[in-house]
A and B are shown apart, each in its own frame.
Chain A
Amino acid sequence: MNTQAIGGMPEITYNFAYLDEQTKRMIRRAILKAIAIPGYQVPFAAREMPMPYGWGTGGVQVTAAVLGRDDVLKVIDQGADDTTNAVAIRGFFEKTAGVATTTSTTEATIIQTRHRVPETALGENQILVYQVPIPEPLRFLEPRETETRQLHALAEYGLMHVKLYEDIARHGHIATTYAYPVEVAGRYVMDPSPIPKFDNPKLDDCPALQLFGAGREKRIYAIPPHTKVRSLDFEDHPFRVQKFAKPCALCAATGVYLDEVILDDRGGRMFVCSDTDYCNTRQEAGHRGEMGVPAESASSDVMPGLNPGIHAVPPGHPVQGVDGRVKSGHDGVPVESGREGDAS
């Protein structure tokens, strides 16, 4: 054992966006290959990241590899900018890259997401980076990578349809609600990550570049702009998306994906936009749902979590509390924009 006295530790410093340039170049090569072969899973030497596997390490590496100093980054998880994991990842890039961040879908040049595609249509100057837990659409039908690789290489996708067939045979309809498999550019079958199938149509012919990063499984794949993306189905059981019976309770939007919020223990609940930026933008434009409240009278003891995105307001502007659980007695105290404090 090294018995030398342990004294002052040297300061540890990191490169722009954490990863060293060698690693970024390696990832960019994988991304380029992925773009060249839409829907094909390109193996890459994923690095260990300072966040746990399964928490977005793939997305973070892809973002780090494509991020430039002029980029404006938006990070969402479950459609929301203020979920803890989104906040942590945004904080990571603020700290390691110092780039501008936003909650606005339209202002962002790079959007990293977990489980959702924004409601606002994306443009050609944007990149959507998905965090992917299990990139292999055939994984739960065939656990062996050696075999699934063959199946992809030979475009043997009968097995995938067996799964859909079984759904219909047992339930009368396809019972896959998220991570619904798609065929990309008429060739590779791809897992769109666990987005609700509601979002699948947004992948098709999207003007933005869509990149998918799976860190633990060490795969990157891509959908280039304006690529044909088709959700698998049967001719007599066509692909259909979920529909919500009611509009958003806050902004009255219809045709969007809604979160169910339990209001009490007597069955009271409301449905609100899962895309918080979309909802806030609509509310700011004057749209009101049945439980929507005028912005001026919003107070923290009404619905703290659904206030306008934290980063959307200028520094120093009072923002209502963000924390209902972990305690804090700071509700109503102004929060500084863009800094994630790490007290440890």
Chain B
Amino acid sequence: MYVAAKGGEKAIRNAHALLAKRRRGNRNLPSIGLDQIAQQLTLAVDRVMAEGSLYDVELAALAVKQARGDLIEAIFLIRAFRTTLPRFGYAKPLDTAGMQVRRRVSATYKDLPGGQLLGPTFDYTHRLLDTSLGQGGVGGEGHEGHAPATQPETSVEAEPMPRVTDLLGREGLIEGAPEDDGTEPFDLTRAPVSFPVDRSTRLQALARGDEGYLLALGYSTQRGYARSHPFVGEIRFGDVEVIFEAPELGFELSLGTVQITECQTVNQFKGSATTPPQFTRGYGLVFGQCERKAMSMALVERALRWQELGEEPGAPAQDEEFVLSHCDNVQATGFVEHLKLPHYVDFQAELDLVRRMRAEHEEERREAGLKEAAE
């Protein structure tokens, strides 16, 4: 007697029931609300929106809940939903200079128009577990001086905050921002990618690429694999208006605001035969507050531009096909995890081959032995 590995319908149903039970956890505790997730696990929600490529806080919170906190699973849920949505058109490019800034730091200038604005950040916190949070406190009391966490979040509107790269650009010290030639950018969710790709396609792929993957690649560029001496010209995080121009209406209208993090790096460039030495840019833009991702993206983006800047190739982060083909975590997780699907048939074929080759090997050894004995 044996137990067949072939499961089937009922097994799936039972597994799903069990999943739902585990997700709910102890029923004596209240079920976590989507508003709680959206308000208190904001960075998880932000990451799901960023890599899910869909700005919808409510759905992202739902996905986080449905996925039991597994963010890649949540991203996957969002992507599968996003793909069914019709396209009404494309928004106008976001004007990040007009951002209502909640945080803005520059590593290249001590002070600059608009100033530095620390905003909500883990930077400079002591990474000490704060047990007051476990008792329903708001945290931040013991070790952050006296700044109460209940202080309202301010956003500075008084002074305009020009982008650092624009300041550099006025002096001609940094390459110009690419011209907008008016063509619709390639949409990698609507058309198959064919290598080599243009910069807009690269940026799209990176913007929805896996944070951990880009972090590792970005890190590798700092350690000498395609080093480009980056400075963080600026990171800014805040609210930007999304403007849509409906051809039927003939005027622009605001669809509301989205929160984004933008990182512009200023990188060294020795100059080429045709270009005098000047700084170059790496660019990162992500939904929500995802600084680590935005910075990593900028580093990798810059590394990928080696060809256009006439730099030496050879580092992993410069390899466009490699970087872009593997940056999507929904693709990656699907294909890695598909290994747990049945492969009986192929395995049977391999089993058969290995047995046959072992038998042949045995036969050869036996024959060799006989020959030796005969000699």
- Residues of B within 8 Å of A46, CB to CB, are 192
Interface size class of A (residues with CB under 8 A): 35 or more
Contact of A340 among B9, B86, B288 (CB under 8 A): B9
* Given A52-B337, A54-B335, A6 and B38 contact (CB-CB distance below 8 Å): yes
CA distance A128 to B10 in the complex (A): 27
CB proximity of A198 to chain B, nearest CB, Å? 7
Complex Cα gap A91–B57 (Å): 30
Given A43-B194, A322-B11, A340-B9: A54 and B337 interface contact (C-beta under 8 Å): yes
**A-B CB pair tally, cutoff 8 Å:** 233
Q: Is the CB of B80 within 8 A of A216?
A: no
Residues in B whose Cβ lies below 8 Å from that of A9:
58, 62
Q: Closest Cβ of chain B: how far from A148's Cβ, in Å?
A: 11
B346 near A178 with CB under 8 A, answer: yes
Taking a contact as CB atoms closer than 8 A, the residue among A257, A261, A263 that contacts B345 in the complex is A257
Interface residues of B in 178-192 (CB under 8 A from A): 189-192
Q: Does A344 contact B (CB under 8 A)?
A: yes
User: Within the assembled complex, what's the spacing in Å between the Cα atoms of A34 and B33?
Assistant: 48
Q: Per DSSP, are chain B's interface residues mostly helix, strand or loop, or mixed?
A: helix
Chain B residues whose C-beta falls within 8 Å of the C-beta of A259 in the assembled complex = 344-345, 348
Nearest B residue to A264 via CB reads B2
Residue of B with least CB distance to A42: B192
Enumerate chain B residues within 8 angstroms of A2, measured Cβ to Cβ. Answer: 38, 57-58
- How near does chain B come to A164, taking the closest CB pair, in angstroms? 14
Contact A84 B8 (CB under 8 A): yes
Nearest-neighbour CB distance to chain B for A144, whole angstroms, equals 6
Knowing A18-B84, A20-B84, A195-B345, say if A342 contacts B13 (CB, 8 Å). yes
**Contact assessment for B348 and A260 in the assembled complex, using a CB-CB cutoff below 8 Å:** yes
Within 8 A of B (CB), among A251-307: 257-264, 274, 301-306
Chain B interface residue count: which class?
35 or more
B residues in contact with A3, CB < 8 Å: 39
On chain B, the residues within 8 Å of A324 by CB distance are: 3-5, 7
- A323 near B7 (CB under 8 angstroms)? yes
Cα separation A171 to B191 with both chains bound (whole Å):
43
Q: Is A6's CB under 8 angstroms from B58's CB?
A: yes
Whether a CB of chain A sits under 8 angstroms from the CB of B366 is no
Instruction: Confirm or deny: B304 has a beta carbon within 8 angstroms of a beta carbon on chain A.
Output: no
The one of B79, B342, B348 that contacts A85, using a Cβ cutoff of 8 Å:
B342
Interface of A is mostly: loop
Distance from A133 Cβ to chain B, minimum over Cβ atoms (Å): 7
Known contacts: A2-B57, A55-B341, A198-B349. The answer to whether A91 contacts B9 by CB under 8 A is yes
Cα A67 to Cα B66 with chains together (Å): 30
Measured between beta carbons, the chain B residues less than 8 angstroms from A321 are 10
| Chain A, residue nearest B353 (CB) | A177
Are B5 and A305 in contact, CB atoms less than 8 angstroms apart?
yes
Q: In the complex, are the beta carbons of A343 and B20 less than 8 A apart?
A: yes
Q: With an 8 A cutoff between CB atoms, is B143 at the interface?
A: no
Partner of B349, one of A52, A57, A197: A197
Contact yes or no, A330 B335, CB < 8 A = no
Chain B residues 1 to 35 lying within 8 A of chain A, measured CB to CB, are 1-20, 23, 33-35
Judged by a CB distance under 8 angstroms, whether A316 is at the interface is no
Please state if A48 and B38 are interface contacts (CB–CB under 8 Å).
no
Which of B83, B189, B196 lies at the interface centre, i.e. has the most chain A CB atoms within 10 A of its CB? Answer: B83
- In the bound complex, how far is the Cα of B83 from the Cα of A57, in angstroms? 13
Compute how far the CA of A303 lies from the CA of B350 in the bound complex, rounded to whole angstroms: 25
5 extra interface residue pairs, beta carbon distance < 8 Å, beyond A5-B35, A82-B7:
A145-B195, A146-B195, A310-B8, A340-B13, A343-B17
A-B residue pairs in contact (CB < 8 Å), sample of 27? A1-B42, A6-B33, A15-B84, A19-B84, A43-B194, A48-B76, A49-B80, A52-B337, A53-B331, A57-B334, A77-B341, A84-B12, A84-B342, A87-B7, A133-B338, A145-B195, A178-B345, A242-B352, A258-B348, A260-B348, A306-B6, A324-B4, A328-B14, A341-B16, A343-B13, A343-B17, A344-B17
